[in-house]
């Protein structure tokens, strides 16, 4: 049970927290990041804990399985929700300061999990503890949870400022105080000039930031983001993703985001939990998951050819039929993965011995993939291969063209299943 180092940081760091977050340099707002007024939050004994210095870049995340939260802090949940024939059953733990992404295809149950965390759907079974407090039976309005909804759900009849002030107001702040707090949040998000603007006049990126400010303004101990970037077009997305990453890095409590986009997940999260059919199929650091996918879904997401097989030394006998030679020396059930770019295609059987792995295939389909051509192959081993447009033209590939596919052993990667 690795105790995360940043847990041991004391309140002194936290004092700095507000200041070093405010790199935009607005003075006179040292109290404006949400610490101010905390003495009012009597009901939250952990309010001053979980401080950190905002260095949680994805690469820094503790690799491997979920770090167990120490002293009952952070999130500890097993969510079981039955919805007709569908059952969601996932375990979810996260330490304060950690950003966890639930990644999975549509219909995997990610959003249901999020709604269960927020209290919008009841748990059929399991438990939900946040900072040591059981929340299973707590109604959504009493949970210290903030949600950024997929299409933000900003209240259309309220200005940006009043949207953000809504939460503090509901949590008991006076009107003036709530608006002051909201104004601070909008300033942090760089949206001060839009305070009086109604949501329909905000651009997608601005609306996203207002939604984030609104969720954070209640000082949640758990921040939930449902497909936070899905509503944006590609260009805005890039920009907003970077901003969101900054804001999440500053956030001192647990953040759980739901996405079906692997790039969003990898950029924003410290740890990924891959959910398929209501179950966790894999979890770990983004880099680990990208390197060692364990399901076809993840392999497709990270762009790898993935096979299951049985290793005996350097040879892996694949379930799909042929054998693959690898550099790893393993025994027993394994996964073998290699990127499409590692595949070379030949019209004639290559004579050189450089490629140890050679399969007879047939082109099933071709599509452009960036500046490359991606070929879907069937035959001895179904796989995808990337090649340059020039190479594709030289080979004269069409659907139905017979080809030889070669992969060097050094470019395959085998790991225990």
Q: Which is nearer to other proteins, 118 or 385 (CB)?
A: 118
With CB under 8 A as the contact rule, the residue among 66, 94, 231, 377 that binds other proteins is: 231
Give whole-number Cα distances, 179 to 161, 162, 167, 169, 317, in Å: 7, 7, 10, 8, 65
Instruction: State the DSSP code for 61.
Output: S
Taking CB under 8 A as the rule, does residue 335 contact other proteins?
no
**Residue 251 interacts with other proteins (CB under 8 A)?**
no
Of positions 185, 194, 251, 359, contacts other proteins by CB under 8 A: 194
Q: For the window 198-217, what string marks contact with other proteins as x by the rule CB under 8 A?
A: -xxxxxxxxxx-----xx--
Q: Strand, helix or coil at 199?
A: helix
Examine residue 152 and tell whether it contacts other proteins (CB under 8 A).
yes
Of 42 and 371, which CB lies nearer to other proteins in the complex structure? Answer: 42
Burial class (CB in 10 A: 0-12, 13-18, 19+), 295: middle
Structure tokens at 325: 């030679």
Residue in the structure block whose two tokens are 């739901």: 258
Number of residues lying near other proteins (CB under 8 A):
45
Q: Which position among 70, 80, 91, 120 is part of the footprint of other proteins (CB under 8 A)? A: 120
- 311 is an interface residue for other proteins by CB under 8 A: no
Q: How many CB atoms are closer than 10 A to CB 359?
A: 20
Determine, following the binding rule CB under 8 A, whether residue 39 of this chain makes contact with other proteins: no
Q: Report the residue number, 17 or 227, with the smaller CB distance to other proteins.
A: 227
Is residue 16 within the footprint of other proteins (CB under 8 A)?
no
Is 197 a binding residue for other proteins by CB under 8 A? The answer is yes
Q: 323 exposed, middle or buried (CB, 10 Å; 0-12, 13-18, 19+)? A: middle
* Under rule CB under 8 A, residue 170 binds other proteins: yes
What is the C-alpha to C-alpha distance for residues 386 and 375, in angstroms, rounded to an integer? 6
CB of 158 to other proteins, least distance (A): 8
Binding range to other proteins, per CB under 8 A, among 167-175, 273-281, 308-316, 335-343: 167-175
Measured distance CA(196)–CA(160) in Å, rounded:
6
Nearer to other proteins, 215 or 268 (CB): 215
Give the one residue of 75, 95, 101, 118 binding other proteins; rule: CB under 8 A.
Answer: 118
Tokens at residue 237, please? 């997305």
Kindly state whether residue 239 participates in binding other proteins, applying the rule CB under 8 A.
yes
Q: Is 133 in the site for other proteins (CB under 8 A)?
A: no
Q: Rounded to the nearest 5°, which phi and psi values hold at 311?
A: -95, 140
Cβ closest to other proteins, residue 233 vs residue 348: 233
Q: How far apart are CA 339 and CA 16, in angstroms?
A: 44
Cα angle for residues 287, 341, 288 (degrees, 5° grid): 10
CA dist list (Å): 233 to 147, 160, 229, 230, 246 = 21, 21, 9, 8, 20
Decide if residue 130 touches other proteins (CB under 8 A): no
Please give the residue ranges that form the binding site for other proteins (CB under 8 A).
118-120, 139-143, 145-147, 149, 151-158, 166-167, 170-171, 194, 197, 199-208, 214-215, 218, 231-233, 235-236, 239
């Amino acid at each position: 049970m690795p105790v995360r180092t940043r847990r041991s940081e004391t309140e002194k760091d936290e004092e700095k927290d507000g200041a070093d977050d405010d790199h935009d340099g607005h003075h006179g707002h040292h109290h404006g990041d949400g610490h101010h007024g905390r003495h009012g939050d009597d009901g939250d004994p952990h309010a001053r804990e979980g401080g950190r210095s905002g260095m949680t870049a994805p690469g820094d995340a503790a690799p491997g399985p979920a770090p167990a939260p120490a002293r009952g802090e952070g999130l500890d949940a097993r969510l079981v929700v039955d919805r007709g024939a569908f059952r969601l059953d996932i375990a979810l733990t996260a330490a304060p300061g950690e950003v966890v992404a639930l990644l999975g295809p549509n219909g995997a149950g990610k959003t249901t999990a999020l709604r269960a965390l927020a209290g919008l759907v009841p748990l059929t079974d399991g438990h939900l503890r946040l900072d040591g407090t059981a929340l299973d039976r707590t109604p959504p309005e009493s949970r210290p949870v903030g949600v950024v909804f997929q299409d933000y759900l900003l209240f259309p009849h309220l200005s940006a400022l009043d949207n953000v002030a809504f939460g503090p107001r509901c949590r008991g702040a006076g009107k003036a105080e709530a608006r002051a707090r909201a104004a601070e949040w909008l300033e942090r998000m760089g949206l001060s000039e839009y305070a009086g603007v109604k949501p329909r006049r905000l651009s997608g990126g601005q609306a996203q930031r207002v939604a984030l400010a609104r969720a954070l303004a209640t000082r949640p101990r758990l921040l939930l983001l449902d497909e936070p970037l899905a509503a944006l077009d590609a260009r805005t997305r890039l920009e907003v993703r970077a901003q969101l990453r900054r804001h999440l890095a500053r956030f001192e409590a647990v953040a759980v985001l739901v996405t079906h986009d692997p790039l969003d997940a990898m950029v924003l999260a410290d740890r990924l939990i891959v959910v398929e059919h209501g179950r966790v199929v894999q979890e770990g650091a983004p880099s680990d998951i990208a390197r060692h996918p364990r399901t076809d879904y993840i392999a497709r997401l990270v762009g790898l050819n993935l096979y299951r097989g049985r290793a005996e030394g350097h040879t892996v006998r694949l379930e799909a039929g042929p054998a693959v030679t690898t550099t790893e020396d393993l025994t027993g059930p394994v996964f073998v993965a290699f990127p499409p770019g590692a595949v070379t295609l030949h019209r004639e059987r290559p004579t050189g011995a450089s490629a140890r792995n050679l399969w007879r295939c047939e082109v099933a389909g071709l599509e452009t993939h960036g500046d490359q051509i991606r070929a879907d192959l069937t035959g001895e081993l179904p796989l995808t291969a990337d090649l340059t447009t020039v190479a594709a033209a030289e080979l004269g590939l069409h659907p139905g063209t017979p080809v030889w596919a070669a992969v060097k052993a050094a470019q395959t990667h085998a790991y225990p299943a």
